[in-house]
Chains A and B, each alone.
Chain A
Amino acid sequence: MAKKRMTMVMDVRRCIGCQACTVSCKTENDVPLGVWRTQIRAKEVGKYPYVRRHFYQWICAQCGNCVEASANNGVGAVSRRDDGIVVVDYEKLTKGRTKKQIDKEIDAAVEACPIGAFSKNPATGLPEKCNQCAHRVDKGLVPACVQTCIGRARIYGDANDPMSEVSKLLGTNANRPAPPNDCDDPHVFYIALDGSLVDRGALEGFQQIKTEDFNSGKIDQIVNSLGGK
């Protein structure tokens, strides 16, 4: 069997901003309050009466920048599985290591992330991020957010399988990798994120988790579907 390349395609045209994905991720993965692996972020553009609200499905792009940083740090607690999913090995991260060593490894991975995908788990103090529900994928199920997506705005599958739905979507629609552009090898692609709906400039209004926020434990994410504050 050919090697798989598990890929998520976000069809922004189909996203209604309902946040079903956000909640299903939390319940599937028992994600505590203050920690996020995916969110729908929104931004209003235009002047009355020509106004639009655009949605952006924020999630780890599985780009592997953290994998490289983690390898360069000599620990390699963050790695890419054969099917492309980027996972954190918590045993490797913590076992037999001093707090300083652990922090250094965490800093390396978190700082390498261009989209602020890591959150700090308040119970363990360790970073976590979307792993595309690897435990589900291993059993032949799509990730929880994909499963519940009302508009089918998230499609998941093997991009190395030419007949898969993700291959079809990538092959027949204009698409772009997850923003920003400095992701190394993204496995998440967006249809209609550029131009027709949300351009790069529009995205700058979205609040992202900054490395310093993560390290200080400050939780300041805006998830109110209308960018509340």
Chain B
Amino acid sequence: MELTRRRFIQLGAATGAVMAIEGPFANAMELELGGRGVAVDKSKGITEKGSDFDKVVPYTCLVCNIEDGGLAYIKDGRIKKLEGNDKHVSTRGRLCAKGNAGMGHVYDPDRILYPLKRTGPRGSGQYKRISWDEAIGEVADKLKAVIDSGHPNETMIHWGRDRSGGAYGRFMKTLGTNTGVNHTSTCESSKKIGMEPTWGPDIETPDFANTKYILNFGSNILEAAYFHNPYSQRVVEGTVKNKAKLVTFDVRLSNTAAKSDEWFPIFPGTDGIVALAMANVIMSEGLADTDYINTWTNYSADKLAEYLKQYTPEMAEKYSGVPAKQIRRIAIEFARTKPATTYTYRGPAKHLYGSYNERSTMLLPIITGNIEVRGGYCLPRGMGYGQPANGPEGGKEPSFLSSPPDYPLAGHKVAHLVPFWIKEGKQKIKVLMRYMNSAAYTFPAASVWKEVQMDEKLIPFSFKIDNQMNEDTALFDIILPDCSYLERWDPESMPSSLWPWLGLRQPVIKPLGEAVEFREVLKKIIHKIDPDGKRGMKKSWEFKDGEDYLKQQFAGVQGLDWEEFKKNGVWPIYGKLDPKTGMIVGKDGVPIKAEYGLPYREDPNGKVTVDGKKRKGFGTGDGKINIHVASWEKYGFNPLPVFKAHPWHWNKDGSSKLADDQMILTTFKWNVHTQSRTPNVKWLTEMVHSNPAWLNAATAKKIGVKNGDLIRITSPVGYMVAKTRVTEGIHPKVVAVSNTLGMKFGRFATANKMSGAGQYGAQDDADIKNIWWKAEGVNPNDIIVASADPIGGSQGWFDTVVKVTAAQSGDKLGDGKVDNAKHVEFFKETCRSLN
């Protein structure tokens, strides 16, 4: 230490001397932050000498759904390195761990690289290689039979992370089916349903970089979710550079909670009542922006204050466990600090009454006047693009599975209840098509999906466009090899910063093996069904290739030059990445500035009149923020933000229903994994390959287990055996198991050191023999009970009541048992009692 300090002082002295000559405003010679690359050429042994790449191709990431801008460095036709696109206003040259590891999806040694046809029983894993012609022929025959039967809805199209920018909708409409099912109810749909009637869009874009206070309810923005990389950059800027305070309410010490100034462990599903109590404190302390409420919302400040009085901090403490005096203190801090913003994600939303929770948290930035101000809670900035001409008309018959009548407000569907409805015979399905989704592995009650997909009476024919063999893919009759996201075209736009942008996903290399871009697969299918165009289907699918299709989509965007767009990967270009600050600067060298107050601008067509002038307003019927949502009242739901206690967790009198040995099971994403696509990416699984159940130290002591011991987690429908991770960083009544591991397919995922070429045409990876870890992943999805928010339709991911006990003799890690009959019973009971 002595020595170092002395050296450092010398260094400082030298610094001073130079400064005297150069003057205080001289520029440093900083190294560049990227945009061009060099690589070590390992073919010549370990050497420190670099060699340039052949080319750099911009693309848009799709390991998760954040859509960061990237640059792919290509050498000899192979992707050697990925890095963030320095021209991208949101990404600013950086990628997360998953994005950096993206070529692991391309060079996955177990990737499916040619069409497969099932030869054994479903789920047996027995497949044979077939030609594209044969595969398309069979798929087209089955789809044609459904069309010709006059019941087009019997084709069910189930997508997940569909970023085709409309191609799937076009395909569905061309087939005439309305049975399109997504994955949003397993994601965040109740957040969307809570927000949309309140102010228009389904998400907020907080100005984290310029804020002074961030109140985070259940978002793990520093590890995952919307929009991890761009938002984390701004959260750090806000907290470190701008000295903003970050306060997190979460059941678990996520990395976001860990980097917060204060973490409040909260009982699951009670964020809403804490927010309502805070709103009550703010109103009653006279700290609310009553002018704003009276001008820009559809509810008066006086009425709101009166309404909120029922939500006392003491009542909120009873449910949430957060002390009333802390609720009061944080509420006052939040209201007195300007600008301030809230942020939410799955924490409040993924519960039975997620939509109410979301609306309750949203009250806080509204009543403090932090909406659409610098450093506040801003509207998302998006950019649109068109669809190619000759779009299909679409089917007329409504689909039960796509628009379940019991969930009239669930505009993002209720996908996770679909297998139960299929079992009940609510709608007959003859063909199941799936894309970018592995429901029988990633959905709650995954085992029920598996049962339905295994049943040839319920699903006579199924095909999947995918390139990963996994628990779900292995159930399909035909598998068509999909391109990875680095080998295909997609149009992109995401409100991931305060600057709107359009992004391009384009092939950075030629697709490997026989992989074909899905757009062209869909075209092949339609052309096979309607070869001469007599059915009127072919006209919607007359494009040359993916590029031609996208060119048509972007043709109407004024000012966008296609060749420039391909060269930059993003449009518009707002400025240059400054190596000294990592910020985007304009021509004057000053960081670019965002625009604020969009709804308050004068607009002759505006719906709201303020100060005698017409203003643009919000995307609601009357242009105001709707604290009172009339459409909810119509269906018997409360039109005001309200707290409803979960009937599994609470008695009517507000006392806890949980027995001493009962807890709530929650899930989370490791920061280096996604739900199903990353376990076979070697660099990511090398870092996280073990998936222990987090237990609070006090709880572990009570149960009598130590760190690393096996435990049984028993839900109403089954049990699983997991390893314990004893920690101080979790609520004592919560057990958390990530649902991103546990896959039984793929050599990196399963730590299988057998080297050699893949089973489905992929090349060997020399690193397979270097696998040094044991695969200790487990997956809780089978024992998570399916339930749905009666308003938003969202899965109550974090609601399942479980018992945690020491493992029984003979239990092995990953063991488990599930009873689908109980899943069905529970589903029925749930639907009855909850609606």
Spell out A's residues near B (CB within 8 Å): 2, 5, 11, 13-14, 16-20, 22-24, 26-30, 32-34, 44, 46-49, 51-54, 87-90, 121-124, 126, 128, 131, 134-142, 144, 146-153, 156-165, 167, 170-171, 177, 181, 183-186, 219, 223-226, 228-229
Query: In whole Å, how far is B7's beta carbon from the nearest beta carbon of chain A?
Result: 6
- B22: CB under 8 A from chain A? yes
Interface residues of B in 346-387 (CB under 8 A from A): none
Q: Cβ of A13 and Cβ of B240 under 8 Å apart?
A: yes
- B4: CB under 8 A from chain A? yes
Please name all residues of chain B whose beta carbon is closer than 8 Å to the beta carbon of A150 when the two chains form the complex: 94, 96, 229, 232-233, 236
Interface residues of B in 662-703 (CB under 8 A from A): 670-672, 682-684, 686-690, 692, 696-698
Q: Which of B50, B95, B253, B772 contacts A33 (CB 8 A)?
A: B772
Given the known interface contacts A18-B232, A48-B265, A162-B18, the answer about A33 and B686 at a Cβ–Cβ threshold of 8 Å is yes
Q: Cβ of B94 and Cβ of A149 under 8 Å apart?
A: yes
3 tightest CB-CB pairs across the interface, nearest first? A135-B50, A53-B258, A163-B28
Q: Cβ of A185 and Cβ of B42 under 8 Å apart?
A: no
Q: Cβ of B50 and Cβ of A136 under 8 Å apart?
A: yes
Query: In whole Å, how far is A198's beta carbon from the nearest beta carbon of chain B?
Result: 12
Q: Which of A140, A170, A229 contacts B708 (CB 8 A)?
A: A229
A163 vs B579: C-alpha distance in the bound complex, in angstroms? 13
- B40: CB under 8 A from chain A? yes
Q: Cβ of A163 and Cβ of B26 under 8 Å apart?
A: yes
Question: Can you list, as one digit per residue, whether each of B750-776 has a CB less than 8 Å from chain A (1) or not (0)?
Answer: 000000000000000011011110000
Please name all residues of chain B whose beta carbon is closer than 8 Å to the beta carbon of A149 when the two chains form the complex: 94
Q: Which of B29, B33, B697, B772 contacts A142 (CB 8 A)?
A: B33
Q: Cβ of A139 and Cβ of B50 under 8 Å apart?
A: yes
Q: Which of B84, B582, B708 contacts A152 (CB 8 A)?
A: B582
A2 vs B232: C-alpha distance in the bound complex, in angstroms? 37
- B46: CB under 8 A from chain A? yes
Given the known interface contacts A135-B49, A141-B34, A162-B16, the answer about A22 and B97 at a Cβ–Cβ threshold of 8 Å is yes
Interface residues of B in 211-270 (CB under 8 A from A): 222-223, 228-229, 232-233, 236, 239-240, 253, 255, 258-259, 263-265
Please name all residues of chain A whose beta carbon is closer than 8 Å to the beta carbon of B100 when the two chains form the complex: 20, 23-24, 27, 148
- B610: CB under 8 A from chain A? no
A74 vs B14: C-alpha distance in the bound complex, in angstroms? 33
Query: In whole Å, how far is B674's beta carbon from the nearest beta carbon of chain A?
Result: 14
Q: Cβ of B222 and Cβ of A141 under 8 Å apart?
A: no
Q: List 13 A-B contacts (CB under 8 A).
A: A23-B683, A27-B103, A32-B766, A33-B767, A48-B732, A53-B258, A90-B47, A136-B50, A141-B36, A141-B38, A162-B28, A177-B1, A225-B670
Q: Cβ of B690 and Cβ of A17 under 8 Å apart?
A: no
Closest to B776 in A: A228
Query: In whole Å, how far is B523's beta carbon from the nearest beta carbon of chain A?
Result: 34
Number of interface residues of B (CB under 8 A): 96
Please name all residues of chain A whose beta carbon is closer than 8 Å to the beta carbon of B258 when the two chains form the complex: 17, 44, 51-54
Closest to B24 in A: A163
- B93: CB under 8 A from chain A? yes
Please name all residues of chain B whose beta carbon is closer than 8 Å to the beta carbon of A152 when the two chains form the complex: 233, 236, 582
Given the known interface contacts A141-B38, A186-B4, the answer about A164 and B95 at a Cβ–Cβ threshold of 8 Å is no
Interface residues of B in 20-38 (CB under 8 A from A): 22, 26-34, 36-38
Q: Cβ of B1 and Cβ of A20 under 8 Å apart?
A: no
Q: Cβ of A48 and Cβ of B697 under 8 Å apart?
A: yes
15 extra A-B contacts, CB within 8 A, seeds A16-B223, A147-B84, A150-B96: A2-B18, A18-B255, A19-B672, A20-B100, A22-B683, A22-B687, A27-B81, A28-B81, A33-B767, A48-B697, A136-B37, A142-B33, A162-B19, A164-B29, A228-B725
Interface residues of B in 578-622 (CB under 8 A from A): 579-582
- B12: CB under 8 A from chain A? yes
Closest to B699 in A: A48
Please name all residues of chain A whose beta carbon is closer than 8 Å to the beta carbon of B33 when the two chains form the complex: 141-142, 146-147
A90 vs B45: C-alpha distance in the bound complex, in angstroms? 9
- B727: CB under 8 A from chain A? yes
- B446: CB under 8 A from chain A? no
Please name all residues of chain A whose beta carbon is closer than 8 Å to the beta carbon of B124 when the two chains form the complex: none
A147 vs B686: C-alpha distance in the bound complex, in angstroms? 22
Please name all residues of chain B whose beta carbon is closer than 8 Å to the beta carbon of A159 when the two chains form the complex: 11, 15
Q: Which of B253, B671, B688, B689 contacts A18 (CB 8 A)?
A: B671
Q: Cβ of A137 and Cβ of B31 under 8 Å apart?
A: yes
